[in-house]
Amino acid sequence: MNILLLGSGGREHALAWKMAQSPKLNKLFVAPGNAGTSQVAQNVDLAVNDFEAIATFCLDKEVNMLVVGPEDPLVNGIKDFFTKQPDLQHIGVIGPDAESAQLEGSKEYCKQFMEKHGVPTAAYQSFTAESLAEGQAFLETLAAPYVLKADGLAGGKGVLIIDNLEEAKTELASMLSGKFGTASQKVVIEEFLDGIEFSVFALTDGKDYVLLPVAKDYKRIGDGDTGLNTGGMGAVSPVSFVDDVLMRKVEEQIVKPTIDGFAKDNMDYTGFVFFGLIKVGDEPKVIEYNVRLGDPETEVVLPRLKSDLVTLFEKTLNGELSSTTVEHNTDAACTVMVVSEGYPGAYPKGKTISGLENVSESLVFHAGTKNDQGKLQTSGGRVMAFTSYGNTQAEALKKSYQSINKVCFEGITFRKDIGFDL
């Protein structure tokens, strides 16, 4: 089997690392990839949204399967592009079509889907510039804090949580007049949910599903969950407070109604569903769906997956997931992300990375790295994820921190407290 994986982050390095272990794999390509993916696959210089060039490459290299890492090409319709053209239809796509990807691409679409299929989530209403006054009046009926969400994709920045009513009204006006461009032409105002968050991942063929190990990520830049939101600074799996009772509720109340909803609505969904969940009291609720794996959750989830990922993808594409079981490693895993100084604000690139050859106790998944004439350099905000296993979470974390101490680049920054609240 020849596979092309799209994307260039730590998630894609972890996906490539896992797929590269499959006996079913012949050739693995990653576009555009990073210095880490080039260790386990062949990087290809293609942009993830250049569908024509991706299709030409797939035909030329006899690619049988396309695995889509990030949400952007999915929302832009890469699945539809492949299923509509006769000469591309034999290539299986791991990822939903554009309509289904609206579950991530539009907050309003996502809320309407959950309402229709009885999936527990925060109460909401949505507003446009024409209904600004109604939106402001709606805010007055809510208690603080106020949750304002740009409807469209806003690079993870489109959610504002505001304590003060007047400020929330002003922000609503500013979002509706273009604060996040077209993404905030519509704004969803939500009830604030007070609880602890976790992430559940399913792989589905649109009617059946298998679950991957549960994870929790740490989004803020600073220790103790302080400072700005980032793409993610670390993650752990399993998650101590997600016991069998809670997990049963998640499956019965959230996962099953969601996948049944895909089938009822005839959605073309073959791929991952990321359930961003929050435990409120003893009950799970959905904060959001993503139509892809999480980053850095993938860097702890896939190392705990014992089953062969390429086989799981094949079964997904053949509609055979109902007869499939997934095996998980019982060890704990954690990942700690090292980032460039200044991230998530402005940061320098091109810093030389040294010492990786001394790391033996952790898996290192590259995120923002590149090879410059044989020298490994930083090329992004999030640079590398250090994943370790342990009998306990504490043991796994200790190994990741020991490994990080062996690696150096100017301005290396990381959180010292991943898993602190568990």
Cβ proximity to ligand GLY, 201 vs 409, nearer residue: 201
Q: Is 97 in the site for ligand GLY (CB under 6 A)?
A: no
Which one-letter amino acid corresponds to residue 373?
Q
Half-sphere exposure of 207 (CA within 13 A, CB side): 11
Minimal CB distance to ligand GLY: which residue?
A: 294
Collapsed DSSP state (helix, strand, coil) of residue 402: helix
Which one-letter amino acid corresponds to residue 58?
C
Q: Is 287 in the site for ligand AMP (CB under 6 A)?
A: yes
Tell the smallest beta-carbon distance from residue 259 to ligand GLY (Å): 20
Cβ proximity to ligand GLY, 151 vs 295, nearer residue: 295
Q: Is 77 in the site for ligand AMP (CB under 6 A)?
A: no
Binders of ligand GLY in range 306-365 (CB under 6 A): none
Chain-centroid distance of CA 72 in Å reads 12
Which of residues 104, 217, 299, 314 is near ligand GLY by CB under 6 A? 217
Which positions from 232 to 271 touch ligand GLY by CB under 6 A, shown as an x/- string?
x---------------------------------------
Q: Is 336 in the site for ligand AMP (CB under 6 A)?
A: no
Q: Render 172-212 in DSSP notation, one character per residue.
A: HHHHHTTTTGGGGSEEEEE----SEEEEEEEEESSS-EEEP
Binders of ligand GLY in range 272-311 (CB under 6 A): 290, 294-295, 297
CB 388 within 8 A of CB 333: yes
Chain-centroid distance of CA 51 in Å reads 22
Collapsed DSSP state (helix, strand, coil) of residue 213: coil
Cβ proximity to ligand AMP, 79 vs 279, nearer residue: 279
- The binder of 294, among ligand AMP, ligand GLY, none, by C-beta within 5 to 8 A per type, is ligand GLY
Cβ proximity to ligand AMP, 137 vs 161, nearer residue: 161
Collapsed DSSP state (helix, strand, coil) of residue 73: helix
- The binder of 290, among ligand AMP, ligand GLY, none, by C-beta within 5 to 8 A per type, is ligand GLY
- Count Cβ atoms within 10 A of the Cβ of residue 180 and give its class: 0-12 exposed, 13-18 middle, 19 or more buried: buried
Q: Residue 128: phi, psi to the nearest 5?
A: -120, 180
Cβ proximity to ligand GLY, 100 vs 230, nearer residue: 230
Give the whole-angstrom CA distance, residue 302 versus residue 313.
Answer: 14
Which one-letter amino acid corresponds to residue 372?
D
β-strand partners of 199: 215, 276
Size of site (CB under 6 A) for ligand AMP: 12
Tell the smallest beta-carbon distance from residue 278 to ligand GLY (Å): 13
Chain-centroid distance of CA 416 in Å reads 22
Instruction: Give me 256's structure tokens.
Output: 């099953």
- The binder of 122, among ligand AMP, ligand GLY, none, by C-beta within 5 to 8 A per type, is ligand AMP
Tell the smallest beta-carbon distance from residue 353 to ligand AMP (Å): 30
Cβ proximity to ligand AMP, 99 vs 225, nearer residue: 225
- The binder of 190, among ligand GLY, ligand AMP, none, by C-beta within 5 to 8 A per type, is ligand AMP
Cβ proximity to ligand AMP, 149 vs 382, nearer residue: 149
Binders of ligand AMP in range 161-220 (CB under 6 A): 161, 190, 192-193, 197
Q: Is 288 in the site for ligand AMP (CB under 6 A)?
A: yes
C-alpha distances in angstroms, 302 versus 14, 108, 234?
7, 31, 14
Instruction: Give me 385's structure tokens.
Output: 């994820």
Which of residues 122, 139, 175, 397 is near ligand AMP by CB under 6 A? 122
Q: Is 326 in the site for ligand AMP (CB under 6 A)?
A: no
C-alpha distances in angstroms, 257 versus 85, 86, 101, 209, 284?
32, 33, 17, 12, 13
Binders of ligand AMP in range 217-236 (CB under 6 A): none
Instruction: Give me 361's structure tokens.
Output: 């106790």
- The binder of 192, among ligand AMP, ligand GLY, none, by C-beta within 5 to 8 A per type, is ligand AMP
Q: What is the 8-class DSSP label of residue 254?
A: I
Q: 83, 28, 72, 81: which is closest to 51 by C-alpha?
A: 81
Residues that bind ligand AMP (CB under 6 A): 122, 147, 149, 159, 161, 190, 192-193, 197, 276, 287-288
Residues that bind ligand GLY (CB under 6 A): 217, 232, 290, 294-295, 297
